[in-house]
Structure 1
Amino acid sequence: MNTELIWVLAMLLLCMGCFAVNKPRTDVVALLVLVMFPLSGVLTLSQTLAGFSDPAVILIAALFVMGDGLVRTGIVYRLGDWLVRVSGNSEVKLLILLMLSVALMGSVMSSTGVVAIFIPVVLSICARMNIAPGRLMMPLAFAALISGMQTLVATPPNMVVHSELQRNGLEGFQFFSFTPIGLVVLVLGVAYMLLARRWLQPKLAAGQSGAPRLTLSALAQSYRLQEREQRFKVLSGSPLLEQQLNELALRQQYGINVVAIERQQKFRTLLLNATGNTLVEPADILLVDLIYPAQDLLPSCRELGLQPLPLANSYYSLHAHELGLAEIAFPPESTLPGKTIQQLAFRSQYKLNVVGLRRGGEALVGVLVDEKLQATDKLLVAGNWQDIHRLQQQSRDFLVLSLPAEVDEVTPAARKAPHALLCLALMVLLMVSGLVPNVIAALLSCLLMGALGCITPNSAYKAIHWPSLILIVGMLPFALALQQTGGIDLAVHSLLYLLGDSGDYALLAALFVLTAITGSFISNTATAVLMAPVAVSLANTLGASPYPFAMMVALAASAAFMTPVSSPVNTLVLVPGQYTFFDFVRIGAPFTLLVLLVSVLLVPLLFPLYPA
């Protein structure tokens, strides 16, 4: 063992120790690595910084941007709505559907990108269902890692191992070579997380308040909106058709305050904020606030040509991405107390509807438009989130007191959702077909998203999770350093010395364990770079087929379940899941042993050690 190799191993052990105690931050440790390699002379400056131009790093950054496009257009929240709707109130169904959805998407695109897309979905679901995010974030990460075992293009380690086989003059793996093993691991993973989720209730972070954020549902309940919400479908013969709302006097004559309109288009439902100039069209669905909730609606419905529709949940919750609520008060300098709501002309001037009034802590009901406002009153307004934000700028007359948690789910480019889906489909098609490199497919899709208005330059840069990228870039030089200093040859000789007489299955298991342990502290892509040459060299030394050994490395590299730094996937869920380093150890280590058992049993069956 030469001096340079000792230095590299010492640096690697030091990094592992820093990762274990999380001091300093993982990205800071990575930057220190980038400084130490050139100073030590083990690698040149260009070799050390080569990770910044690595296609995998650029691909991950591009997928963060793709995820931002899917968030801004509301696609991820619609997926979350579907998960909630199908699973109902069952956390078990939700966990199963979440893991299956993530594994399916991750089989054709980067698992890191999938997690970046799903994190806001999971946080939204947890807020709605009152579930601690930690109970779903680790299942999300595990499903994304398992997705790397489904197809050849699912994760960079698979491509690294595939390329190593080709460099040795072999054919490499097929697109679905991983799938049989990956499906078995996926079933086991779902079953395991159903059992392990009871240990995933996280502690609150230091300084974090245990009080939940105000939600649309709670805000609506405080103003007694639920008993007044209703949906009506406009029938073909309705006298309301092709008329503006301010001409109909629905509020004065029928006690019906139209808040918004659902209008069906070819491929989606469009939500329109109700203003005085809004025209009523056939088949529109009116979301209304009843001024007199106890009134008999049937005579009014017959007269107006309206059909009452069921409303299982508050329409504010159903349309939380576009339709918002805000509580406002009057600052001391406001000139509005003493006027009526009708005189404020909220609908025409601010494009918002006043749907509630609280006085002395009590919500008033009945006709509010003629009520004279008092300085201590609070109003509840409903409308488009953008109009609510504009109201915040009226600092002289209005003070926005409460914005519910759903404000985080605003989708400023909701009407661009079909374009975002087109960009995503194009990226997946290019990746699966292999017409262009994966990184080019992702970059082309990002540029198209920008051209179509799904993202903006500012939102794209903000979407990239830079600490994760720095961590990957900082760990990549270890692979090259170990190759140049003889670390790879040392690993092969050590395995043969220790287990050469124990049989091929023992060597496969040892290769898996060594890869998994190495990948627990450095990037799984870097681990594959390190261990793929070891696997091929070991097979050649034994006179065996390199395919089962290479497959074991690929599977073990994806089995990065044991630490939060073993994969960007785990790093991404660390903070939103409120996990510690050892949460991954106690949940991930047993499951890694299960994956080891499955791999040792199935790999030799699918890839014979000594083909005839």
Structure 2
Amino acid sequence: MVLALLIAAIFMFVKNKPRMDAVGVIMIAALPITGIITVEEALIGFSDPNIILIAVLFVMGEGLVRTGVARNVGDWINEKAGGNETKLLVLLMLAVAGLGSVMSSTAIVAIFIPVVFRICSNTGISPSHLMMPMSFAALISGMLTLISTAPNLVVNSELIRQGEKGLGFFTITPFGLAILALGVVYMLFARKWLPDNASNSNKKKRKPNFKDWIKKYELIDREYRVKIMPDSILLGFKINELDLKLDGLKLLAVERKEGSKNVFIRPTKIMDFLVDDILFLDVRVHDVDLKGLSEKYGVEKINLSGGKGYLTSLSQELGMIEAIIPAESDLIGKTVKEARLRSESGLTVIGLWRGNQPILEDFLEKQLKVGDTILIAGFWEDIKRMGLESDELVLLNLPVEFEEVLPAADKARHAIVILFLVVMAMVTGILPNVHAVILGCLAMGFFRIIDMNSAYNSISWKSLVLIVGMMPFSIALQRTGGVELAADGLINLVGESAPWVAIAALFFITAVLGLFISNTATAVLMAPIAIAMAFDLGLSPYPFAMSVILAASSAFMTPVSSPVNTLVVGPGNYKFGDFVKIGVPFTIIVMIIAVFLIPLILPF
């Protein structure tokens, strides 16, 4: 009866009907009916510390997303590689694997897809040359630490349940590092077999970005940043007491040091200027004497970081949006200056597009016409409010930068420190793993890196329910002799061969099973079989458990083997066969590495 339920579960997984978490719930309800296990035992997964650990790790990973830690790494890769495809591939794989070792690999790939698109857009490299290496690195990240993926924790939980000592935080790391190194080398050679085409999603009409508008409205030399010096004549004045417009300038924002951090302030008429304030100015007159203005006002010019264009480096705080003048707007016939958008909404008009060209000279004095498009700059919250409240303008598409605004960008250091302390607590054993991550999660909440809504939304409830639903199978199969039967079958298959042959057979079966069902479900099913097989052979269970762990993360062979692969199919414009011809050889390589290293590091 239990075997029939297991076969039914696998059949539903393969068909993907119903969804996987629903299958888990069905199994929780069905197993007690067999009389093999009780209802309490069917629900035992909900009290398993590893389930809590997995859930809280999702939340901590969300903290790294919300603070921009992962995306900053992507920007660093772009800068260091300098457009060299080989450097990009190596740095991308190392970064994705490193980040994936402490957060969800699926989340990492989702974060890095737009990063890779930006890199490809700037360098002309085909996304198909980087997307698959990125997904492979994310899968390999599951082989780097105990907490890097759910199957590791599932196998570790089974070891503990069988009365064995759990794996250490870095027990798996030597295997993962070796596989990562060979994976990078392999992809450097295998990339010539990758398709050299643009992604379908890239061909679709994309959203505009700041760079598009900088070029369209010719804003490249319009941004001017200055720092107020101690002898500046601006000190003691309020903004409304100075008319910067006479010098062709418009104040967009003020950056001011408050305590240990810098904050961006919306300019108001009654705001005072302070020493060391950084002013972000829009230069509206092309032949303005900037050096003379610096001397006049007692300010020091600040060069833009990395030569970035208008507001590009400030996209977390300040935004831009295009708006069109509709036929019923009361702004028709008024000049941009008379529209008084600054006083009414806190936003500044920085460009005017009419017909098929920008109006560059005296655009503030031009009367607005139906169909004119204006470019507006200001704080994101003001832009969002205008979209909700304005009847005079129709806002067009929000730029890509709006989607990249981070809710907790100023808390990146806090997130890194918290993550480091959690990892140290787990490595040293000062605290139980689940206790350490719960404290880390609470710390992220205390520092407002995450909130309750983002925490709940970050958890993959589908994965958790699946694991909980499949866990009772381990108990049921052991009581009915199913685990022993499977273990004996494997032993008979390999005969009296050396133990490494049993390791290879276990890896092969786990990897093949992972083609049809999720790697988490595979680990739930294969972990007890692997451990029973070790006991029957009179050997240590750890080499056999490690074989399951490594095989469960070796989902390289098809685009549906893992959500990580599925995510990059569209962006990379891959076909099913692309994964087969790249993934199958690499899976064989991983199996050879595993069979060679496991006995050396974890003796039988």
Q: Equivalences for 1:67-466 in 2 at 5 Å? A: 67-107=61-101, 109=102, 111-112=103-104, 115-116=106-107, 119-127=110-118, 129-130=120-121, 136=130, 138-162=132-156, 173-196=167-190, 199=194, 204=200, 210-241=204-235, 243-253=237-247, 255-263=248-256, 270-304=263-297, 305-307=299-301, 309-310=303-304, 312-466=307-461
Q: 1:92 to 1:58 in 2, by over 3 A?
A: farther
**Equivalent-residue separation in structure 2 for 1:291 and 1:173 (angstroms):** 64
**Equivalent-residue separation in structure 2 for 1:257 and 1:533 (angstroms):** 69
Calculate the TM-score normalised by the size of structure 1: 0.84
**Equivalent-residue separation in structure 1 for 2:559 and 2:160 (angstroms):** 32
Asked if the contact 2:21/2:465 (under 8 Å) is kept, the reply is yes
Q: 1:555 to 1:76 in 2, by over 3 A?
A: closer
**Equivalent-residue separation in structure 1 for 2:601 and 2:50 (angstroms):** 29
What SS does structure 1 have at the residue aligned with 2:603?
Answer: coil
1:17 alignment partner in structure 2: 14
What is the aligned counterpart of 1:535 among 530, 539, 544?
Answer: 530
**Equivalent-residue separation in structure 2 for 1:163 and 1:456 (angstroms):** 29
**Equivalent-residue separation in structure 1 for 2:282 and 2:120 (angstroms):** 25
**Equivalent-residue separation in structure 1 for 2:249 and 2:349 (angstroms):** 13
**Equivalent-residue separation in structure 2 for 1:24 and 1:368 (angstroms):** 60
What is the aligned counterpart of 1:513 among 508, 512, 520?
Answer: 508
Asked if the contact 1:331/1:398 (under 8 Å) is kept, the reply is yes
**Equivalent-residue separation in structure 2 for 1:575 and 1:484 (angstroms):** 45
> Aligned-pair distance for 1:289?
2.4
What is the aligned counterpart of 1:561 among 552, 556, 559?
Answer: 556
Q: 1:360 to 1:568 in 2, by over 3 A?
A: closer
**Equivalent-residue separation in structure 1 for 2:53 and 2:130 (angstroms):** 26
Q: 1:314 to 1:279 in 2, by over 3 A?
A: farther
Question: Where does the alignment leave 5 or more consecutive residues of structure 2 unmatched?
Answer: none
Cα-to-partner distance string for 1:143-191 (whole Å, 9 max, x where unaligned): 3332333344444544554555556665554443333222111111222
Q: 1:98 to 1:43 in 2, by over 3 A?
A: farther
2:594 alignment partner in structure 1: 599
Asked if the contact 2:156/2:166 (under 8 Å) is kept, the reply is yes
Deviates more, 1:571-580 or 1:448-457: 571-580
What SS does structure 1 have at the residue aligned with 2:396?
Answer: strand
Asked if the contact 1:287/1:315 (under 8 Å) is kept, the reply is no
Asked if the contact 1:74/1:321 (under 8 Å) is kept, the reply is no
Deviates more, 1:287-296 or 1:560-569: 560-569
> Aligned-pair distance for 1:327?
0.9
The residue type paired with residue 69 of structure 1 is G
**Equivalent-residue separation in structure 2 for 1:310 and 1:132 (angstroms):** 30
Calculate the TM-score normalised by the size of structure 2: 0.85
Q: 1:222 to 1:44 in 2, by over 3 A?
A: farther
Asked if the contact 1:99/1:140 (under 8 Å) is kept, the reply is yes
Q: 1:434 to 1:308 in 2, by over 3 A?
A: closer
> Aligned-pair distance for 1:95?
3.5
**Number of residue equivalences:** 597
**Equivalent-residue separation in structure 1 for 2:143 and 2:285 (angstroms):** 59
**Equivalent-residue separation in structure 1 for 2:126 and 2:402 (angstroms):** 19
**Equivalent-residue separation in structure 2 for 1:40 and 1:209 (angstroms):** 54
What SS does structure 1 have at the residue aligned with 2:250?
Answer: strand
Q: 1:534 to 1:191 in 2, by over 3 A?
A: same
Q: 1:324 to 1:102 in 2, by over 3 A?
A: same
Asked if the contact 2:170/2:427 (under 8 Å) is kept, the reply is no
> Aligned-pair distance for 1:409?
1.3
What is the aligned counterpart of 1:489 among 476, 481, 484?
Answer: 484
What SS does structure 2 have at the residue aligned with 1:369?
Answer: helix
Cα-to-partner distance string for 1:371-423 (whole Å, 9 max, x where unaligned): 33333322111111111000112232222123112211122444444544454
Deviates more, 1:165-174 or 1:311-320: 165-174
Asked if the contact 2:335/2:368 (under 8 Å) is kept, the reply is yes
> Aligned-pair distance for 1:432?
3.3
The residue type paired with residue 8 of structure 2 is M
The residue type paired with residue 258 of structure 1 is L
**Equivalent-residue separation in structure 2 for 1:222 and 1:157 (angstroms):** 50
**Equivalent-residue separation in structure 2 for 1:193 and 1:264 (angstroms):** 46
Q: Equivalences for 1:470-485 in 2 at 5 Å? A: 470-485=465-480
The residue type paired with residue 223 of structure 1 is Y
Q: Equivalences for 1:18-33 in 2 at 5 Å? A: 18-19=15-16, 25-27=19-21
> Aligned-pair distance for 1:470?
4.3
**Equivalent-residue separation in structure 2 for 1:435 and 1:572 (angstroms):** 38
**Equivalent-residue separation in structure 2 for 1:464 and 1:548 (angstroms):** 31
> Aligned-pair distance for 1:319?
2.3
> Aligned-pair distance for 1:24?
5.7
> Aligned-pair distance for 1:518?
2.9
**Equivalent-residue separation in structure 2 for 1:510 and 1:213 (angstroms):** 49
2:544 alignment partner in structure 1: 549
Q: 1:539 to 1:124 in 2, by over 3 A?
A: closer
Q: Say if 2:581 is the partner of 1:590.
A: no
**Equivalent-residue separation in structure 1 for 2:265 and 2:153 (angstroms):** 47
Asked if the contact 1:413/1:454 (under 8 Å) is kept, the reply is yes
Cα-to-partner distance string for 1:265-308 (whole Å, 9 max, x where unaligned): 77655444445455444444443322123444332333333325
Asked if the contact 1:202/1:579 (under 8 Å) is kept, the reply is no
Q: 1:592 to 1:579 in 2, by over 3 A?
A: same
Asked if the contact 1:73/1:416 (under 8 Å) is kept, the reply is yes
> Aligned-pair distance for 1:216?
1.8
RMSD across aligned positions (CA) = 3.7
Deviates more, 1:294-303 or 1:503-512: 294-303
Question: Where does the alignment leave 5 or more consecutive residues of structure 1 unmatched?
Answer: none
Cα-to-partner distance string for 1:184-207 (whole Å, 9 max, x where unaligned): 1111122233444563768647xx
**Equivalent-residue separation in structure 1 for 2:180 and 2:255 (angstroms):** 39
**Equivalent-residue separation in structure 2 for 1:50 and 1:607 (angstroms):** 30
**Equivalent-residue separation in structure 2 for 1:58 and 1:134 (angstroms):** 37
Q: 1:568 to 1:605 in 2, by over 3 A?
A: same
Cα-to-partner distance string for 1:325-354 (whole Å, 9 max, x where unaligned): 011123333322233333333333312111
The residue type paired with residue 95 of structure 1 is L
The residue type paired with residue 10 of structure 1 is I
Asked if the contact 2:120/2:126 (under 8 Å) is kept, the reply is no
Q: 1:562 to 1:8 in 2, by over 3 A?
A: farther
**Equivalent-residue separation in structure 2 for 1:54 and 1:586 (angstroms):** 39
Q: Percent identity?
A: 45
Q: 1:524 to 1:452 in 2, by over 3 A?
A: same
Asked if the contact 2:70/2:99 (under 8 Å) is kept, the reply is no
